[in-house]
Structure 1
Amino acid sequence: MADKRGERPAHPLAQSRPRQDGRPRQGRRPLPPGEQFFTPGATGLRRKIELRSAAPLVFLFQLPRWIAPAVLVALMLAAFAVSSFWGGLAVLPVIAFVSWLAYMSWPSLGTGGRIMRVALLTFLILVAADRFGAF
């Protein structure tokens, strides 16, 4: 898809798309500056997941900054408050979200960041196992 000058953008999701009349969209934050939107040289499963994750990541970025953390905190509070099967169900979306973000950011992380993500996921899995009665 070429623009009016015949140039192709790097990727359609890598920049905030203007409306059809050429004006920028109102109320939307532009995507953050960065070196790459996708992992360079990614193939196979990583490439497929990154391509499928591009739209949800852009959607999350367009939301007010407080919504995602507020939802995650509410789910974790529910998981801690309810020590039954329902508490385990409350922590499952948190595990899924943190796992997805950990997978997406893994190539750009150092050793410390990787250890922290593995520790967080281990903690969340232990909370879910406790609520489901595995312990």
Structure 2
Amino acid sequence: MAKGDDRDRRGGREGRGSRPLPQGDAFYTPGAGRLRREIERRSAVPLVWLHQAPRWILPTCMAGVFLAGLLLSGPLGALLLALLALFFSWLAFLAWPSLRTGERAMRVVVIGVLLVFGVLQSGAV
């Protein structure tokens, strides 16, 4: 890299607002089983992309999907809420080994509430 070049090794601009990755020795859960290792491996790129995105993108998109899921009745609203529950389930699965009991319970409750809202939106009840 030439001196004075403002591009980092990943090809992005330093001043663009990208955040450095968290410190640590391992990206994967030590001693994990085959399924967890494979899911973590396949999740690495999306997680790095989410981490490098501007901080407002994820909460804004999640709030938009949640509100659209509540406002749109029928199968479309149910699908949006189910997709949001699936996204939260994916994040909960990845974080599960490092969470305490209360944190795990909160994630299960949030996912359950989203699924209940989805069933109510579908008109199946």
Q: TM-score, normalised by structure 2?
A: 0.84
Counterpart residue number, 2:3: none
Counterpart residue number, 2:69: 79
Aligned residue for 2:115, secondary structure, equals: helix
Partners of 2:111 and 2:124 in 1: how far apart?
Answer: 17
Give identity over the alignment, percent.
45
> What's the RMSD between the two structures over aligned residues?
1.7
TM-aligned CA deviation for residue 91 of structure 1 = 1.2
TM-aligned CA deviation for residue 109 of structure 1 = 0.3
Partners of 1:36 and 1:44 in 2: how far apart?
Answer: 16
* Structure 1 segments (4+ residues) deviating >3 Å: none
Aligned residue for 2:73, secondary structure, equals: coil
TM-aligned CA deviation for residue 35 of structure 1 = 5.4
Q: Which has the higher contact order (CA 8 A, sep 6+)?
A: 2
Partners of 1:54 and 1:86 in 2: how far apart?
Answer: 29
Counterpart residue number, 1:54: 44
Between 1:74-83 and 1:45-54, the stretch displaced more is 74-83
Extract unaligned runs of 5+ from structure 2: 1-7
TM-aligned CA deviation for residue 69 of structure 1 = 0.9
Partners of 1:29 and 1:115 in 2: how far apart?
Answer: 29
| Candidates 104, 107, 111, aligned match of 1:117 | 107
Partners of 1:94 and 1:35 in 2: how far apart?
Answer: 31
Select the structure that is richer in helix.
2
Q: Which amino acid aligns with 1:57?
A: L
Asked if residue 93 in structure 1 is aligned to residue 119 in structure 2, the reply is no
Q: Number of matched residues?
A: 115
Aligned residue for 1:95, secondary structure, equals: helix
Counterpart residue number, 1:45: 35
Aligned residue for 2:23, secondary structure, equals: coil
TM-aligned CA deviation for residue 89 of structure 1 = 1.7
